[in-house]
Each structure stands twice: as C-alpha cells, then as structure tokens.
C-alpha cells in the first residue's frame, strides 16, 4: 500500500508555477491554498517574480532550504521532467501534477508521460495526475484545487476521474453543507491509480465513505480485490460512466482510459459490495446518507406523512426500490386511534391529515422507530412545515391583524419547534439505532441540508423529495444485505 500521509497531511507545500496572473492555474491553486486556511508553510516557485501574494518566491525547488512534503506543479508539460528531478534532489516523494499536455494530448504527450512513469517508479515518486484539477484535504484546511470550491471538513472522501464532475461534487457539497474528507482529482492516473487512493482511504480513520466518479479502470483484478476488502469496512459509492457505446467512446477520448464494457464492469463489481448509482445527484446523496445515518437492519420501512399524496409517492417508490411497507402493528394503531380523527387510514403510510401538530408527529415517529416491525422510518412534511405556516401569518400581519410582537413570538416559537423536532429525531436515532429519514415540505434557497448536534454521532439529511429519500434508503439496505450475506 502506498503511504500517502504526506500527500494528504503535508506540513509544507511548494507550488511550482505559482503566479499572480488571473485565470492561470498557478494563480488559482495558490490563492485557494492561501485563502482556504491552510496552516502549513507555502513556498511559491517561479522565476518570473520575487514575491507571490507577499510570499518570497523561489526560482526552483532547489532554492528552498526547508524540507518540502508536497509539490504541486502547474507549469507546461515540457518543464515537468526537470521539476521531477528537482523533487528527487530535495527528497520530495509527493507530487500533484496539474499540468496537462500528457497522454490526453497526443503522441508526444504520451511519450512524455511514459518517461515520467519510468522516472517515478525508479525514484519512488508518488504522483497524482497529470492533467488533474488538484486535490484537497479538508481536515487540514487544504484546498488545493484550481476551482475554489470549499466544502466543510467531513468524512466523505472523493476520487474523481474528471475535473468538472469532481468540481461540481465539491461545489454541491459546499452549498449543501455536506462535509468532505479528502478530494482527489485523479487525472490521467499515470502513477497513482484509483485503486491506490481507495486502498489509502480504506485504512484512513477520517474517511467513512468513499465516493468515486469512475470512467475506467486499468487493472480490473486489483481494483476488484481492493474494493472487496474495503467494503467490509466502509461503503464505496460509484457513478460509473462509459456505460453506453457513445459514452465509452467519449470516456476514451477524455481520459484515454478504456471504459470497457459496462456489463463486464457490472459483473466484476457484483461480488464486491460496491454501491453503484445512476447520476451525479445520487452519487452525492447516497454518499451523504451512508455518512449521516445508521445502517438499517432490514428493508421494512414505516412512513409517516403530513399529506396523503406524498405517502402514495413514497409507497410506490419503496415498492420499486425493493423496500417493504409492512402493515401497522395493532399497538401502534391503538395508540394513534386516541390522537387521530376517526377516519384515519390505520395503515402504513400513516397519514396525519392536517395542520402541523408537532406532538402528534413526534409521537408517531417514535412509535414507528421503537417498533420491531420496522427497520427504518421516513417522515414527510414536518421540516419547514413551520416555515411555510409562517407565510399566512406574515400576510395577516401585513393586513394589520397581527401585531409586530405577536409575529415575532410566533416566529420564534415556530423556529424552536423545528429545532426541537430535529433534536428529537437525532435522539430517537441514537436510542433505537435505526435510520429516520426526514423529507422537508419545502426547501428554500440557502437552507442547510444537514443537521447535527453534539448529542448524537449521527446526522440528519433533510431531503427535498421522497424519491431521493427512498433511493438513498434502498442503497443503505442493499449494502446491509451485502454485509449480512458476506458474514
């Protein structure tokens, strides 16, 4: 196994090709590291300026007296071999090679990449890339990509065989408040391969889930072996492209990797416990679900809904995703009989028909969570029901029927109810060790998607749709079932 500790936890970084010229990679990466909050030493390397963003600049790596853990290179391809030799001179083993112009750029680039691979093998250089958008290690506030997407630190680690897809995942994570551990733009994978990163993340205690955008694999056998070993410890979630002929051709011209037949890939990973997803959205959603919720111990779902339509949508989706909706046990029916109008459905989904009544909600959810009939609970329409309920009250206030003071009081009470509900759900998850998935009635711009507090090791993901919730839950169930079978 490759030891990539200094790649992900460097105490010092040199950026070769550091620049103050806007739009240049050497500018984008340097400003990202400096503004991203990295605490280690940063050494800009360039011959063209004395200082870069106020830091002393060095003409070459050899001119830096201090030791360097990690070198990021953003200079033209033809300069790279010399810099690699400087790395060896300085005893540097970890390189992120952002530069393009290698195997993705035709015959000459392929030759150069071959030369680099040979040199790296001979001198034990661990190179990420070339043709990568960079890396990140959020735990030490190291944002080493060109695009300045900065998700908060967390435990989902990403490997992306595409810069723009990787970027988008990082941006979505940032905007949705999803914590990311380490980020790898694996580029051409000349030296370090996807498998190497998986193997490192396998033993990385700060990684709970490995999330991969995958176009192709060089060594299918090794990949399968490592993946299978890893899934025993933590989930691997993969969006695999090149599924179709046109997609495969596009992948080949993109990263030069042979995407191969998707059927071959599918059968290869079937026994590995890898979680395959269908879209970028699902890739992030499912990874986040694994990181946030306890694993369900089966596929039996209890649904509590504020409105009938949502219950129907969720029931259909559960059926289509292989999730069961067992009937309500008698004791739950009995208790809910005392709280609900006489004509309530007495079925799963439990339709609470009516105004937001948080006691009723909370009690129904607890009954489902506590019951041995269910392995997981989905509840729909509580979160932001209060926010939406404020709208008529604000209208009444504008029409003069509610005083400023009353408005403030109602508003605070609503906010508090919402927080109480979220804390209560986390408490239930701790107590019963079952996933409880919230689906929000309304998702507003800027809403945090993740909720956590200090009393629980779990987190809540607040889904926008029942479709997303059932899809994620179903993937959790499949992974659980795989682990059971494997025992």
Closest to a second copy by CB, 234 or 397? 397
From the list 39-47, 122-130, 437-445, 477-485, the region that binds a second copy by CB under 8 A is: 437-445
**Residue 89 found at the interface with a second copy (CB under 8 A):** no
Element (H, E) at 213: strand 209-214
Could you say which residues in the range 403-432 bind a second copy, by CB under 8 A? 410
**Residue 446 found at the interface with a second copy (CB under 8 A):** yes
Q: How far is the CB of 38 from a second copy (least distance, A)?
A: 12
Closest to a second copy by CB, 129 or 311? 311
**Residue 147 found at the interface with a second copy (CB under 8 A):** yes
Which residues does 169 contact at the CB level (< 8 Å), separation at least 6?
158, 160, 211, 213, 280, 283, 284
CA 242-238-240 angle, 5° bins: 5
Could you say which residues in the range 156-185 bind a second copy, by CB under 8 A? 160-168, 171, 175
Biggest distance spanned by C-alpha atoms of the chain: 82
From the list 197-205, 286-294, 394-402, 425-433, the region that binds a second copy by CB under 8 A is: 394-402
**Residue 23 found at the interface with a second copy (CB under 8 A):** yes
**Residue 139 found at the interface with a second copy (CB under 8 A):** no
The b-or-e profile of 228-250 (16+ CB within 10 A means b, else e) is: bebbeebbbbbbbbbbeeeebee
The dihedral formed by the CA atoms of 62, 64, 67 and 70, expressed in degrees to the nearest 10: -80
> How far, in Å, are 389, 395, 443, 446, 473 from residue 378 at the CA level?
21, 32, 17, 23, 9
Could you say which residues in the range 256-285 bind a second copy, by CB under 8 A? 278-281
**Residue 53 found at the interface with a second copy (CB under 8 A):** yes
Q: How far apart are CA 397 and CA 392, in angstroms?
A: 8
Which of residues 232, 401, 413, 419 is near a second copy by CB under 8 A? 401
Q: How far is the CB of 300 from a second copy (least distance, A)?
A: 12
**Residue 109 found at the interface with a second copy (CB under 8 A):** yes
Could you say which residues in the range 194-223 bind a second copy, by CB under 8 A? 213, 215
What is the sign, positive or negative, of the torsion defined by CA atoms of 70, 72, 75, 80?
positive
Tokens encoding 318: 């559960």
**Residue 249 found at the interface with a second copy (CB under 8 A):** yes
Q: How far is the CB of 125 from a second copy (least distance, A)?
A: 25
Q: How far apart are CA 205 and CA 9, in angstroms?
A: 13
**Residue 396 found at the interface with a second copy (CB under 8 A):** yes
């Amino acid at each position: 196994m490759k030891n990539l500790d200094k790649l992900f936890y460097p105490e010092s970084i040199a950026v070769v090709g550091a620049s103050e010229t806007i739009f240049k990679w050497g500018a984008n990466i340097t400003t990202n590291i400096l503004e991203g909050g990295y605490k280690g030493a940063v050494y800009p390397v360039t011959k063209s300026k004395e200082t870069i963003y106020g830091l002393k600049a060095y003409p070459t790596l050899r001119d830096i007296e201090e030791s360097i853990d990690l070198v990021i290179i953003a200079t033209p391809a033809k300069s790279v071999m010399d810099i690699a030799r400087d790395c060896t001179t300085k005893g540097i083993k970890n390189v992120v090679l952002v530069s393009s112009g290698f195997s993705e750029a035709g015959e000459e680039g392929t030759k150069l990449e071959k030369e680099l691979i040979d040199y790296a093998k001979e001198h034990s250089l661990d190179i990420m890339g070339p043709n990568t958008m960079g890396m990140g290690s959020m735990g030490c506030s190291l944002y080493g990509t060109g695009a300045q997407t900065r998700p908060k630190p967390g435990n989902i680690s990403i490997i992306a065989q595409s810069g723009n897809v990787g970027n988008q995942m990082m941006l979505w994570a940032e905007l949705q408040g999803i914590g990311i551990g380490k980020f790898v733009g694996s580029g051409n994978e000349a030296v370090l391969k996807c498998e190497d990163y998986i193997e490192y993340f396998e033993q990385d205690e700060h990684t709970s889930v490995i999330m991969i955008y995958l176009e192709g694999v060089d060594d299918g056998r090794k990949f399968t072996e490592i993946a299978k070993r890893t899934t025993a410890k933590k989930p691997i979630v993969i969006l695999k492209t090149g599924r179709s002929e046109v997609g495969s051709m596009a992948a080949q011209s993109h990263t030069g990797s042979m995407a191969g037949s998707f059927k071959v890939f599918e059968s290869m990973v079937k026994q590995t416990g890898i979680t395959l997803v269908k879209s970028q959205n699902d890739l992030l959603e499912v990874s986040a679900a694994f990181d946030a919720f306890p694993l369900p111990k089966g596929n039996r779902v209890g649904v509590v809904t504020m409105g009938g339509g949502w219950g129907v949508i969720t029931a259909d989706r559960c059926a289509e995703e292989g999730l069961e909706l067992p009937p309500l046990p008698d004791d739950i029916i009995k208790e809910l009989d005392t709280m609900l109008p006489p004509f309530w459905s007495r079925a799963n989904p439990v339709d609470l028909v009516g105004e937001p009544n948080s006691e009723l909600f909370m009690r129904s959810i607890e009954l489902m969570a506590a019951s041995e009939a269910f392995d997981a609970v989905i509840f729909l329409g509580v979160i932001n029901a209060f926010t939406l309920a404020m709208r008529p009250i604000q209208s009444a206030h504008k029409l003069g029927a509610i005083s400023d003071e009353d408005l403030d009081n109602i508003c605070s009470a609503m906010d508090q109810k919402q927080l109480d509900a979220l804390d209560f759900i986390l408490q239930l998850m701790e107590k019963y060790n079952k996933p409880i998935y919230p689906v929000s009635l309304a998702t507003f711009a800027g809403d945090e998607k993740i909720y956590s507090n200090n009393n629980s090791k779990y987190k809540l993901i607040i889904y926008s749709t029942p479709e997303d919730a059932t899809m994620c839950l179903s993937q959790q169930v499949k992974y659980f079932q795989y682990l059971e079978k494997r025992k």
